[in-house]
């Protein structure tokens, strides 16, 4: 009788460590699965921020010529304190100018009024208590706000998806290509926290509770116009459907109050700039100082399209972009977000199309579209798909930091802003 073949010793030795590693990975995954939701979210966010921290250090080691006067390799705090962080630092130290600086032709020059006061004001208040400076407190406040935003984003996503899918949505927000901005002294992380909280209350139809959140949010970043537009669309939708979907009198006036508050919040910063400087166009002229032109709705997109693709293909390419965006916003995965988040994304994109001058900073300004992170998670429950998307985002982070955050002078001077 022929005996069973003896096992290969080399194969046994190779499979032993593999089984140990597989067992350890399964045990770690099981332990992670038993953590409370907030611990999982904070752990995911911490790992993402640690990756971005290492990425900043690696790219900083390759920074040479720069306009900030660094000699040798800049430190982490020096490196993340560049670009608009410098403007926020100026506001922290000296506030806002009493009048808009202008050149000989009357055109506004770049100045602090382009940057909203909530973030530097919060850092300044903490500095008065702790005695620490901008260089330390700016990144600390931005990073802490990012962790708060992660928790709020999860709570919002968990209203629309299972716990696992909601966590993957947070993963995609945490590692998205521009997510390193959530730990530098910019207002993005604070705005993300407040926006997620406002949308969370909106989805719950706690309209009056959302009012103070929205008003404060409108002092962090210019998102009030988009929020007011979203409220208008949602109100009209509920009014049209009132015969089939209950729309009580209480909800009617509460939505009106939140919509009006959003409009007031959107106008608050331009009005404050006007009040301080006595210049009605203080804010709008300052915003357009970076583009060297007057504020003309939609025009910069057509100009940029024509510059990139020519006078015929340019408008066609822009039209194609708009059509593809509209199709995506009506896709199944985006509709699963619910009407409030779907309309928010559409309203914010409309705001960008109307007011934004499309530059390399456009990538960063897409961050308020964070609900699309959950839409990505809805596309497939496949682990291979989700890990591939996360890995792709990490690679794009490297591209974003190495290309845009690192100063590389252009032939005509300056550099593309992040």
Q: Phi and psi for 148 in degrees, rounded to 5?
A: -60, -40
Mean local confidence (pLDDT), 379-399: 98
Q: Report helix, strand or coil for 102.
A: strand
> 373 and 366 in contact (C-beta within 8 Å)?
no
Q: Give the pLDDT of residue 1.
A: 43
> 298 and 353 in contact (C-beta within 8 Å)?
yes
Sign of CA dihedral 58, 63, 68, 74: positive
Query: What is the overall mean pLDDT for the chain?
Result: 94
Give the tens place of pLDDT for each residue, 162-201.
999 999 999 999 999 999 999 999 999 999 999 999 999 9
> Is residue 2's pLDDT more than 50?
no
Q: Give the pLDDT of residue 122.
A: 98
Q: Report helix, strand or coil for 101.
A: coil
> Is residue 6's pLDDT more than 60?
no
- pLDDT band for position 10 (50/70/90)? low
Q: Give the pLDDT of residue 12.
A: 53
CA 338-339-340 angle, to 5 degrees, is: 95
pTM for the model stands at 0.93
Alpha-carbon distance of 183 to 206, in angstroms, equals 30
Q: Enter the DSSP assignment of 108.
A: B
Q: Give the pLDDT of residue 7.
A: 52
Q: Give the pLDDT of residue 26.
A: 74
Q: Report the candidate in 53, 366, 29, 46 with the shortest Cα–Cα distance to residue 174.
A: 46
Q: Give the pLDDT of residue 166.
A: 98
> Is residue 340's pLDDT more than 80?
yes
Task: Pick the more confident residue, 414 or 96.
Answer: 96
Give the tens place of pLDDT for each residue, 40-81.
999 999 999 999 999 999 999 999 889 999 988 999 999 999
Give the tens place of pLDDT for each residue, 14-48.
566 677 766 766 777 778 888 999 999 999 999 99
Long-range contact pairs involving 212-217 (C-beta distance under 8 Å, separation at least 24): 214/258, 214/261, 214/262, 214/265, 215/261, 215/264, 215/265, 215/268, 216/118, 217/191, 217/265
Give the tens place of pLDDT for each residue, 147-166.
999 999 999 999 999 999 99
* Angle, in degrees to the nearest 10, between helices 134-158 and 188-203: 20
Cβ atoms < 10 Å from Cβ of 268: 15
Mean local confidence (pLDDT), 244-273: 97
Alpha-carbon distance of 171 to 186, in angstroms, equals 21
Burial environment of residue 159 by CB neighbours within 10 A (0 to 12, 13 to 18, 19 or more): middle
- pLDDT band for position 417 (50/70/90)? very high
Query: Residues with Cβ < 8 Å from 28, sequence gap 6 or more?
Result: none
Q: Give the pLDDT of residue 11.
A: 53
Largest CA distance in the chain: 104
């Amino acid at each position: 009788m022929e005996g069973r073949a003896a096992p290969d010793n080399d194969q046994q030795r190779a499979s032993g460590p593999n089984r140990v590693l597989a067992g350890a990975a399964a045990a770690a995954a099981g332990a992670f699965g038993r953590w409370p939701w907030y611990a999982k979210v904070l752990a995911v966010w911490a790992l993402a921020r640690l990756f971005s921290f290492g990425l900043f250090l690696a790219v900083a080691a390759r920074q040479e010529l720069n306009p900030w006067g660094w000699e040798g390799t800049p430190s982490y705090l020096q490196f993340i304190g560049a670009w608009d962080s410098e403007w926020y630092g100026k506001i922290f130290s000296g506030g806002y100018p009493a009048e808009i600086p202008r050149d000989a032709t009357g055109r506004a020059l770049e100045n602090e009024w382009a940057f909203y006061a909530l973030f530097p004001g919060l850092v300044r208040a903490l500095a008065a208590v702790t005695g620490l400076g901008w260089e330390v407190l700016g990144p600390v406040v931005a990073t802490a706000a990012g962790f708060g935003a992660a928790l709020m984003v999860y709570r919002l996503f968990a209203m629309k998806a299972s716990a696992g899918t909601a966590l993957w949505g947070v993963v995609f927000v945490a590692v998205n290509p521009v997510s390193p901005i959530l730990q530098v002294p910019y207002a993005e992380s604070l705005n993300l926290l407040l926006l997620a909280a406002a949308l969370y209350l909106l989805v719950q139809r706690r309209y009056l509770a959302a009012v103070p959140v929205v008003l404060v949010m409108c002092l962090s970043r210019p998102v009030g116009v988009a929020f007011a537009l979203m409220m208008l669309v949602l109100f009209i939708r509920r009014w049209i459907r009132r015969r089939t979907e209950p729309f009580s009198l209480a909800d009617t006036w509460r939505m009106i109050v939140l919509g009006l508050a959003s409009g007031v919040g959107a106008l608050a910063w331009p009005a404050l700039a006007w009040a301080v400087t006595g210049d009605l166009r203080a804010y709008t002229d300052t915003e357009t100082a970076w583009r060297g032109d007057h504020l003309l709705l939609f025009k910069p997109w057509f100009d940029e399209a024509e510059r990139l693709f020519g006078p015929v293909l340019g408008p066609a390419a822009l039209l194609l972009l708009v059509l593809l965006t509209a199709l995506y916003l009506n896709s199944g995965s985006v509709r699963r977000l619910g009407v409030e988040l779907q309309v928010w994304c559409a309203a914010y994109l409309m705001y960008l199309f109307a007011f934004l001058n499309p530059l390399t900073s456009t990538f960063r300004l897409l961050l308020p579209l964070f609900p699309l992170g959950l839409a990505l998670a809805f596309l497939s429950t496949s682990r291979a798909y989700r890990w591939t998307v996360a890995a792709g985002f990490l690679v794009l982070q490297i591209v974003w930091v190495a290309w845009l955050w690192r100063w590389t002078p252009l032939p005509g001077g300056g550099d593309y802003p992040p």
